[in-house]
Each structure stands twice: as structure tokens, then as C-alpha cells.
Structure 1
């Protein structure tokens, strides 16, 4: 064969083989890495060194749903200098708070008061060497040492402060990528926090858990430690901003603004104050109002918490609820609100985003019916069967709060949460595992140990369960005792609450991400997770960000 012919055949062969060499798809930038590696940030959010006037704050930030960082303004809070561990222990040690794990949705730690329930005193004794994090409504006695910023102390904002929250850990906390239903000022008192922020206009490219259509809050299915861009390719398009927050700073976070937060420092403590989703601003009184910091204890807070009873954290904004009730009434052809109209409204609220039609399947109808009747008992105490639309426009805040408690209260706000968290099947299994058939005895200590080991439940609730099985206080329960008390115990753990489809969806995504980690991790990706996070890198590079954005 001539050399020229051989060369031609070789070229044809190489060209035909070349496509097969590209069969492996190109790995997108940031795939399998931490959130924020998929593209460079747009920059740091605007930074101010003084509190803006109420009108400027509304026009430039609140009405535009734009975040802004107010540098150093929380140094005016008494809490900034007072809230040492010793001070908190001595002055507020017996107040009750809610707990979460440092990694959001990982698990619920056990506290002195049960699952996810602790006292401040016990938390301070254990938080530096245990995986626990106070994410709680701020107890009222502590509110006198937290201040409300002058820009939200007049006009429409004045009476629309919803609740205040406390955040305390030994650092190392990590949230999901999520959005909150209400506006908030987040003020850091100790440590540092790094935020990733995504404008709501880009949510279309963010995989979100399916929430009810009524929800303004929610969370993404993205694994913030290991973003799967092959599963969620559109996320690669999403631009992001960042905020580096140090002790004394306050960040304004608009409602439904996607964000992810990591905390650092041996003690990381913050407070936040939530505000309604205002659509317009009445500046009445702002012209003459003095630009003063006001103790939170003097503010007209909608939801408060005495530090002893159940919390109201996360309850619905009663002003928004009022609009919803009026809408349900006006949509009714008879222009009245009765139990049937409330039930239909609740069914619509349970619809998933992709099921906004008349044929979606509603679950937990019996629970919704019960809620409907409870709502009408509040709105129609005389039992006439209905209320007019005019009556709904005249509801008091107290009446609206009572309705909100029925419609949206969180079981995790109570010491009884543990009874909602575990299923009857799980509890029955633990009881039978701890029961010794040979001696026909279920010993108290054996049951407590098995309950804590198998379910990671609290000793407090384990003892309460055992008391139901051992009503004569013998210190043990035999087979007859178990037969007599088992139904009472299991009934306590039978849920009477709506399903959480978003939570179930998150668990499925978490399992799939774990499979992805095992199958696809590379040394380079492992290295990136051991290195600085994207926000830490920009913290070092942007020490002058305050000055660059000071005029924004």
C-alpha cells in the first residue's frame, strides 16, 4: 500500500475514534463541592456604617427586598457587653430554650427538658463539647437588653414586629440553603458568620422542596457541602452575593431571600427580630420620631415568650392571616365564612406548587376538618354557624393570634414534642426490646437505657412512659402491666398533625446525595472541602468592603 493511502486510512480511523474519547461528560465547575464554588460571587452586599432614616431604609432596602449590612450598630445593645456565659447563667439560667443540631435537619439533641428542649443553665454547661445549638424564641426577660433599631421604630414597622429569636452555639453551625417567611434584622453579638445570599428572582433555577403554596419560607434540596450539578444543572446559572458579619453587625434579610449561613468562633451568639411582609409604608410619626434605640421589651411584639411555657416561634403573621380569611370569605358565593369554607381554604393551602388545580389529592382531611371547627369556634363563639366578611375585617389581634395558634403552631415549641417525633411502632419496639421475657419484667433502668440508645430520646419522657406502664410504681412492669398500659402509651405517640412532605422529600434527597458522595468523590473535591469556604476566602480578600460599599 502506498504511503499516501495508508495515511488517508489512518486519518479516517482517528476521526472516527475521536468522538468516543469524549464520552465522559465534562464535570461542571463546582460539582461535588461546597455551595458557592459553582461561580464567582457578584460581590459583598451593601454595607452602611450608620442606621439609615426610616424613609431611606424603606425606599432603598425594605421595599426593594434588598439585603444590607449595618456595621457595628449592635454594639449599642446592652446584651453586646453583658451576655457572658456567667451572666446568662446567673440571670436567665432557668429559662427554657429550643435546641437543634449544629447542622440543620441533622437531628434534635436532648436537653434537660426533653428532646430539643433545654434550660439556658444546662445548655451553657454542655454546649462547648456537644453537638447542640440554641435556635429559640427569645425569652421575654432577656428582651430588655436587646434594642430595636431606629429605622423600624415608627410608621408601618412600629406595630409589625412579629417575634424575636436567640441563636447560640460554640461555632461550627451550618444551615441549609433556605428562605424565611418574614423580614428580619439579624444582629451578631459574638463570633463571625458568613452568609451566601441569592435574590428571589433566581429561585426558578434553585431546586426547592415542595412546600404548600401558602408558604413564603422553605428550603432547597441542594447539599451545601457537596452540590450535585449533574442532578441540578440549572443551579450553575445562579448568581450569589455574600456577607461577612462580625460581632456588633446587623444584617437586614428580606422575606423569601435565599441564604445559607456558617458560623465561627468558640462562642457564636445572635438575636433576630422578625417583621411583617409590608407591601406599603405609612411614614406617620417618622418625621418627629427621635433616632433612638429602643429596648425590645418596650416594642409591641406580636408573639412573645415568657421563657417557661410553650413557645410561639414560627407562628403565622396574624395580619397576613386576616387577609387570607377575608379572601376565603369573599371567594364564597354566599359571602360568609363557615367551617366548609375554612376547610376548602385549608385544602388549598396544603396543595403542592405543581398541583395548583382542582384534582390534587388532599391528605389528613380529618385533621383539617378538626382545625376548621376550632377556627370557627374562635370566630363564631355564639355558634351561629358563620361570620360575615365585614366581621372578619374587624377581628382583633388577639382573635387572629388565637386562630393562628390553631392553624400553624409547631409541635417543637412544646415539651411534648418528643411524643410527636417518634412513632408508636418505634416506641412499641423499644419497649419489647427492653422487656425480659424470662423474668417477665420491664425494668425502669433497662427501659431508659434502651429508649436513649435506640431512639436518642430523653430520660424525662422515658420516665413518663414508664409511669404509664407501671401505675403502681413498683419499679418494673410485667406482661399484664404492658397489656394494660400499652394502648395509653402508644396513643400519646400517635400523631395528630399534618404531614410534612417537604421534610420527607429532603430525607430522600439526603440519601441520594450520600450515594452520590460514595460513588463520585474525587481527591480534588475532598481537598476543596478541607480548604476555606468561598465566604472565608472572600472575608480575607474583602477587608475593605466596608469602605467600597459605604455609600451604597
Structure 2
């Protein structure tokens, strides 16, 4: 009897000790809580546009393209040495973060390319810059995006440049993107978007779509849902590209040493249009500059604005459309009706996301000149936190249209419009 009691006491003590031990991976870098899942698919060539859509975009499946830049797709891969960038683009203004460990509350700095090149090896700075039209001439569109609708939804091209040691927050994006590594190495932790509940259970910042978890010291007591979360590991080397699907969660660690990458952002394509694709497929050595597909800022602003209004709706009918467009008084009643009819491709009296994605925005701007005034020089630097100003403005009395454009009113509407457009990049719901 005594032996049985002692055995129970010993087992109980063991349970107490075990139950108070910190979970595996506690206060360790993200991903140390368990081994990664099976490897991400790797390819040595780009798929056709149709295969890219069906197998990766529609299926929400990441894929790595090993050594793909060695095939000549990206002139920047061979050209973008520090000397070349200084000589050709030294006077261009670039956006820089002060701090290699991402903190989304910090402000961006604007300095010249030459100034950045003089400082980046010794200072705690990181370039995150929207590639200028001139620099975009050194970047070709991946052949898998040359038709099917992909060519119509290019949002922008970003340049990431540091001396290494940068660490992003755990986040996701409202766009699909391909990240290509021109120099250095990157390590990625990726989590399928289907694990939304576990990732966003606590500490998730909806205004920015990122987690407050410290990626270098994950507190698994504060974030218990992360303890058993499946994840994938990706190691990128110079010359590799990776497709990161819309809404997949990821953390990016750029390893020490010169680290330079570009990524091409595309709105998430929901349907493939094969009417403009050659049945023989696309040769990955077919080089077409991305500048031919990159839309003007005002065009992407307008598409983003419409997608933002659709984030909680399956469609927009005429009364709804009229209500949210009316406050932008630069559009008169006839123009609002023309705009709705142009977006309603199948004439069913409602606008859906796919119709916004395939709409020829350049034609719309030609048809409705008032759109030009609304989006010219949109003040994109305004804070996302000011989006509530849109609601304040929409509740106010709508001013009458006059022949003369009030500059202050125009500036206010541009600011509201830009914030509404920018919101969709971070707040769109899963499809």
C-alpha cells in the first residue's frame, strides 16, 4: 500500500515539473517550436501562365524557382553593382527604414541613392523603395505573368537593399508577389493562410496586417496558439525567386552581407483569361520590361479604392455604388452612371471583384476626365489611421459641383481617396 502511494506521489511530482516547463521553442526565434513541414516545391524554370494560375495562384501554393535569374530574365541581376547604381541612379530619391529589425511604427526616410550607398554598410538602415520608372527598365516581367490577366494587375515593384541582418515582422499581404534575390541570402518562415485563427488569435494588428510577436524571441506563453503551428522553411540563394501567395503569413530574415532583392506585386487574380494567350505557351527567355505592365499610380489607386469597397461585399449594386461615389463631388451624376456601366462588364446591374480586376482603367480615365483631377498627385504619405476622415467627410453636406475646382476641396478628396485605396492592401478579407 505504501509503495503504491509513493508511486502516485512520484508521478504527480513529475507531472507538476513537466507542466511548468516552458514549451519547446519558448523565447527562441520563430519556427523553433517544431520541425518545418515538407519542403516547398522547387522548379528550375517558370511555368506557363495557365499553369501558374491553376497550380500556384488559384491553389494558393508557394513555389521556388532555383537559379532562374541566371537565365537572363532580370538585367538588374548582372547590372546592379553599387558602382552601377551610384553612377546611373545616384541622384534618385529612395525610401529607407531606420532599423533593420522591422518596426512598423517607425517613419521612412527619403535620401538619395548615392547617400544610401555611402551609408548602408555601416549604419542600421534598410532600403524599401518603390522602383522608379527609370530603374524598372532593368527589370523584366516573368514570362509566367505575360498573359491571362496577370499583365493587367501589376501593382508595383519594390527594391529591398541592405548589408544584411534585416528581420521582418510576421505578416501577410493583400497581394500575390514574386521575390527575386539579386544578391545575398534570405531565410523565410511561411505559414499557410488557412491557419488564420491560430496566427491572429492574439497580438494581431489589423491596421497593418502583422503580429506583435517578437520574431527573435517568441513568447509561447503569451501566444499559445503558435505552439503547434505548422510552418514551412525556405532558404533563398542569389539568383533564386519565390512566389508568395496572397494572404500567406511569412517572416523574412536577410542574412549577413550585401542583400538586394526586388519583388513584383500583383493583385490576386481570381479568374484566368486565356483569350490573349498563345496556345503554344510562353518561353521563359522571352524578355519584356515590367515597365510596360506597370500602371500609373492613379490607375492603381482607383482599382485599389474599388477593391477596398468590395472587401466586405460580394458585389456592389447601383444604389450602393452611387452612395459611396457621390461624396467625391468632382464626379457629376452622369459620370457616376457612366462609371458604373463601364465597370459592370456583364450588364447584370452589379459590380463584382473580377470585373474590377479586368476593367481597363486607362479607358475609364479617358472616358471620364474628372477622374484625372481626383487622383492627380494623391498624397500617399498620409497615415492609414486617418481613414476615419473619409467617414467624417462622407457624413458632411455634399458640396455642389461648379465649373471651378476648389483647390482645398480637391486636395481633401485626393487625400481621402488615396487612404481608401491604400487600405485595401492590408485589410482585404480572404477570398
TM interval, shorter chain, is 0.7 to 0.9
Identify the match of residue 409 of structure 1 among 373, 380, 403.
380
Q: Shift of residue 222 of structure 1?
A: 1.7
Q: Which consecutive residues of structure 2, in runs of 5 or more, have no partner in the other structure?
A: 346-358, 366-370, 387-414, 424-431
Question: Displacement, 1:289?
Answer: 5.6
- 1:402: how far off? 7.5
Matched, 1:105 2:141: no
Show CA shifts across 1:434-462 (max 9, x none): xxxxxxxxxxxxxxxxxxxxxxxxxxxxx
**2:178, 2:84 → 1: CA distance?**
24
User: SS of 1:238's equivalent?
Assistant: coil
Structure 2 residue 34 is matched with structure 1 residue 39: yes
Task: Give the Cα separation in 2 of the matches to 1:342 and 1:62.
Answer: 31
Structure 1 residue 336: deviation in Å? Answer: 5.6
**1:281 corresponds to:** 272
Contact 2:188 2:252 in 1 (8 A): yes
CA drift at 1:15: 7.3
Distance 1:253 1:17 in 2: 47
Of the structure 1 ranges 295-304 and 96-105, higher mean CA displacement relative to structure 2 is found in 295-304
2:84 match = 87
Give me the whole-angstrom Cα distance separating, in 2, the residues matched to 1:104 and 1:196. 15
Taking the aligned partners of 1:17 and 1:149, their CA distance within structure 2 comes to 61
Q: Deviations over 1:165-204 (max 9, x none)?
A: 1111000000001001100110000000010110001121
Distance in 2 between the 1:47 and 1:20 partners? 44
Three-state SS of the structure 2 residue aligned to 1:237 is coil
Residue aligning to 2:247: 256
Residue 401 and residue 204 in structure 1: after superposition, are their counterparts in 2 closer, same or farther (change >3 A)? farther
Partner of 1:133: 126
Q: 1:321 to 1:142 in 2, by over 3 A?
A: same
Distance 1:35 1:20 in 2: 27
Structure with the higher helix share, 1 or 2: 1
- Name the residue aligned to 1:342: 324
> Shift in Å at residue 153 of structure 1?
0.6
Worse overlay, 394-403 or 166-175:
394-403
Q: 1:390 aligns with which of 341, 353, 356?
A: 341
- Per-residue deviation at 1:288? 4.7
Q: Could you say which structure has the larger radius of gyration?
A: 1
Q: 1:180 to 1:316 in 2, by over 3 A?
A: farther
Residue 155 of structure 1 is matched in structure 2 by: 148
Give the deviation of 1:25 after TM superposition: 1.9
Contact 1:162/1:302 (8 A) holds in 2: yes
CA RMSD of aligned residues (A): 3.9
Task: State the 1:297 CA deviation.
Answer: 4.4
TM-score normalised to structure 2 length: 0.73
Mapping of 1:53-68 within 5 angstroms? 53-68=48-63
Contact 2:205–2:212 (CA<8 Å) still a contact in 1? Answer: no
